[in-house]
Amino acid sequence: MADRTLGFLRPAEFISTVDDYQKGIGTLGTMLAEERQKMSDTKFLYKLGERLLAWNRVDDADRRFAAIETLDPTNKNGDTDDALMERSWICRKKETWDCAVSFAQDCYKRWPDGEMAADAFESAAWYQVKGGHKAEGLAGLKEYVSKWPKGSDVEWAQEQIATLEKELAAPDTTKAP
């Protein structure tokens, strides 16, 4: 049975994944067949959402991630914050920037000390920039660097801050006098 993987897998993990796929384990088709019995399992729904994304079935994936939030609104199982960030990423992929910002901010506001907090905060700021709200995004990137000075994307954020500061300081030559 054929299926897909996303991203890099180490050789042993790749071989194990291919072996599973050949046995029909973890393939999209198998998971869709199992879904009825596992509709309340947030971990299963998250993995199914990831499989659907691998097949570029974005709207189907989004529905599974939304179901996770409904099943576990307090993030007890630790999947809801990840699901919100996946939904933010889906909006980013569709270039619906306000939607992307909303999901990322929701994740950060609900779990400001959670494992996804820094990524959610930074993502919301960057999506504001992408959506044309450069001043708000700049402020968010500065706050990200301040709150998470050792964050994994601080160097990148500092580069974006420098670029945005130059852009926002430059006179607007597109407006008529």
Q: Which CATH number fits domain 36-168: 1.10.443.10, 1.25.40.10, 3.40.50.1370, 1.10.3720.10?
A: 1.25.40.10
Q: Where are the beta strands (DSSP E) in 29-174?
A: none
- Rounded mean pLDDT of 86-103? 97
* Residue whose token pair is 């189907």: 60
pLDDT at site 4: 64
- pLDDT grade, residue 22 (50/70/90)? low
Q: Are 64 and 49 in contact (CB under 8 A)?
A: yes
pLDDT for residue 136 is more than 90: yes
